[in-house]
Structure 1
């Protein structure tokens, strides 16, 4: 799969996942620097929205969209993961009024990025992508957005979350 950033090819590090696989575990940091793993939301559907940086237009819009939709999803944890520092994520959430999505930082060790194959080696950012993991930790939806500066397919991801 060829991923581009501003129309230039980039290299993704890690192992890309596929529908039907068991979701790999990961350790990321919450805004208070506590560790968060996939197991912390066990028993819920997880909609994982991955963005390069919350401080960019498309990432901002993507996170706001999933924040709005999260309130309508039953038994679903909506996680937004980026390599932004936890302090920056906390500040951004406060200014944007984000309260239905948990923002998580993969800055420390790229644990999530490596496990899901979304680390852009050239930039040390995460490639825009969306994953839905059901309550049994099975991946039921995967989208690696071909051009990192473009939006994901919101409707397909939300539909997958509702049906999980």
Structure 2
């Protein structure tokens, strides 16, 4: 398991990412997470032609909340073609409560809290905080990474337009 520094910050302070980093062109690694109903879920459970994997530190924060809502809105027109998975270390109970309160229906929230399987498989686990780094990955039908943005400052939003453009190219 590798550790990388100098890639992300939180309020300007450097953090360490743990896990096996992936890059554009790589096969997307499998992972094991939990649904809001505590059922196991993995990458293979989502057969849509295109997938957006959205890693966020916590849906209980303003930026993560905003990001998930924006992607939810954008995914309205892509039903049946693409799916957005929002993955955090939040407990499934908290994710379910958030999703119900936010009224989101076009994204799937998944919890990596149990094993940090997703965070480690994609090199996005923040060692100092045991949270996920903010990142957006687009996977095509071949389940290869077509786009990857690791947001340098954890408190900043991703480039929505670039991620959605990349998704459009794989559909």
Which range is displaced more, 1-10 or 63-72? 1-10
Please tell me whether the aligned partners of residues 45 and 135 of structure 1 are also in contact (alpha carbons under 8 angstroms): yes
CA contact 1:82–1:126 (8 Å) conserved in 2: yes
Q: Does structure 2 retain, via aligned residues, the 8 Å contact 1:11–1:121?
A: yes
Match of 2:109 in 1: 103
Matched residue, 2:76:
71
Q: How does 1:5-84 map to 2 (within 5 A)?
A: 5-73=10-78, 75-84=81-90
Measured in 2, the distance between the counterparts of 1:122 and 1:29 equals 23
| Counterpart position of 2:96 | 90
- Flag as ranges the 4+ runs of structure 1 deviating above 4 A: none
**TM-score if structure 2 supplies the norm length?**
0.94
Kindly indicate whether the alpha-carbon contact (under 8 Å) linking 1:47 and 1:131 is maintained by their aligned counterparts in 2.
yes
Task: Report the equivalent of 1:3.
Answer: 8
Asked whether the equivalents of residues 73 and 162 of structure 1 are also in contact (C-alpha less than 8 Å), the reply is: no
Two-structure CA RMSD over aligned residues (Å)? 0.9
Distance of 1:53 and 1:138 partners within structure 2: 26
Structure 1 unmatched runs, 5+: none
Cα deviation, 1:14-73, whole Å, max 9, x if unaligned, reads 011101110000011000011111101135211011100001010000000000001122
Match of 1:119 in 2: 125
